Amino acid sequence: MIVKKPKLQPPSFAPFPPAWLWLMDEAIPQLVKSEYSPRESWKDKPFSKEDAHFFFKGIHELSELFTEERPKGMPAYFQHPKYRSAYLLYFLPLQAAKFLTLFSLHPAAFEAALDHGRKNGILRIADLGSGPGTASLSFLLLLLQQKLKTGEQLPQIELDWFDTNESIMKDGKALVDQLSNCFPKLRGRVHVNIHVTPWWKSPTLLAQKELSLTFMGHILNESSAPQRDSSSFWKMILEQTGGGGTLLVEPAARKPSQILSFLRNQFFESELIENDPTRLWGPCLHSGECPLTEGRDWCHFSIPTQIPGEWFKGFSEALSTERQWVKFSYLWLTSLQYRSQRQHPSARRVISDSLSQGPKPTVLLCEPQTPGRWTSPTRNSIYRGDIVNI
């Protein structure tokens, strides 16, 4: 038996590109200060500790709303400026850290999106329930790190954002514009199209435009599509998305994670995607029934990380939630043309922390229908998300 190198705990894990600090510590605080300061005279001055104190109230309140199981009729919190500023300052970096983590866990998916964009001349991304475009901004930060050959340019990038709140998308667009103006690699190459509409209308509005990537970040937990429309929505969006495929990210909580498991089963059962594990970038290694769709356990991951940024650190401390981890559940479907690598038949994803106190860890493994239980023959630590060969 070989225990493979951990797959969800990369050994030299550094997903934060250099432009991260510019965005999180300079551009966002300055945007918040100029758009959301209650007094005109404050607006031109640099973001200070007093500002952090002032805006923290909204961060604290929004964090309470987000940590509770989402109420049924989730309030439209972005209608309130206090919560838009709170999201930009604290939740945007937190969620962006998750997207960057996922890009670095699945580099082939990121490459597929880029390759598709290069071949088509346009790299088009649909960001559904975009908020301030967290996923798109994370993608751009990583693109800035790409090594280009001499004379090579990135393709034209079109970001199609769909959200019911226009103001938060406008804030995000201002950040994308600043980012692309500040960094020559992106200058003149990025365009944001704002669509103020529910996410399930996106395929119709995008008509026949081919996508290199679709993001749905932290949205299914708060808003469900009308039953009547949802299967046609999924059919259209999956057909329309080439390149890097469709990435759904949700909080690590039971309900949203089980929604993802349910959707995944449906996609395979209804043959919206063919029954083959190469149609998933992750986390699943098989295309049988998800073993965690119901019940006590659910499929989620915690990755150790230190999210950089002075203001983020201060807000985390004030919330008493110093972030040593990013936690999420996710489902990343490939497109038809770009598939994931087939894994060895004995490879299994670990889907629990160690269940035993003894020196040899016992863990649950992802297998069709029912989780497998497995005790490692060695004393090596095994983490949730690792891939082991049994």
Ligand X SMILES: C[S@@+](CC[C@H](N)C(=O)[O-])C[C@H]1O[C@@H](n2cnc3c(N)ncnc32)[C@H](O)[C@@H]1O
Interface residues toward ligand X, by CB under 6 A: 78, 95, 129-131, 134-135, 162-165, 168, 198-199, 217-219, 222-223
If the CB atoms of residues 171 and 386 are measured against ligand X, the closer one turns out to be 171
Q: Tell me which residue has its CB nearest to ligand X.
A: 131
For residue 26, is it left (φ>0), alpha (ψ between -120 and 50) or beta?
Answer: alpha
If the CB atoms of residues 32 and 219 are measured against ligand X, the closer one turns out to be 219
Instruction: Find the shortest distance in angstroms from Cβ 87 to ligand X.
Output: 7
Query: For the chain, how far is it from start to end, CA to CA, in angstroms?
Result: 6
Closest of 282, 301, 300 to residue 292, by C-alpha: 300
Helices and strands, number each (H, E), in the chain? 12, 12
If the CB atoms of residues 218 and 254 are measured against ligand X, the closer one turns out to be 218
Tell me how far apart the alpha carbons of residues 76 and 363 are, in angstroms, rounded to a whole number.
Answer: 40
Q: Crossing angle, helix 166-182 and helix 134-143, to 10 degrees?
A: 10
If the CB atoms of residues 128 and 382 are measured against ligand X, the closer one turns out to be 128
Strands 156-163 vs 190-196: parallel, antiparallel or unpaired: parallel
The answer for residues whose C-beta is within 8 angstroms of residue 129's C-beta and 6 or more apart is 162, 163, 199, 216, 217, 218, 219, 222, 223
Instruction: Find the shortest distance in angstroms from Cβ 150 to ligand X.
Output: 36
Strands 213-217 vs 122-128: parallel, antiparallel or unpaired: parallel
Instruction: Find the shortest distance in angstroms from Cβ 84 to ligand X.
Output: 9
If the CB atoms of residues 70 and 339 are measured against ligand X, the closer one turns out to be 70
Instruction: Find the shortest distance in angstroms from Cβ 200 to ligand X.
Output: 7
Instruction: Find the shortest distance in angstroms from Cβ 264 to ligand X.
Output: 19
Instruction: Find the shortest distance in angstroms from Cβ 198 to ligand X.
Output: 4
The answer for residues whose C-beta is within 8 angstroms of residue 272's C-beta and 6 or more apart is 231, 234, 235, 238, 266
If the CB atoms of residues 252 and 365 are measured against ligand X, the closer one turns out to be 252
If the CB atoms of residues 131 and 371 are measured against ligand X, the closer one turns out to be 131
Which token pair is 62? Answer: 């929004």
One-letter amino acid of 21: L
> Based on the number of CB atoms within 10 Å of its own CB, is 253 exposed (0-12), middle (13-18) or buried (19 or more)?
middle
If the CB atoms of residues 240 and 376 are measured against ligand X, the closer one turns out to be 240
Instruction: Find the shortest distance in angstroms from Cβ 279 to ligand X.
Output: 24
Instruction: Find the shortest distance in angstroms from Cβ 328 to ligand X.
Output: 10
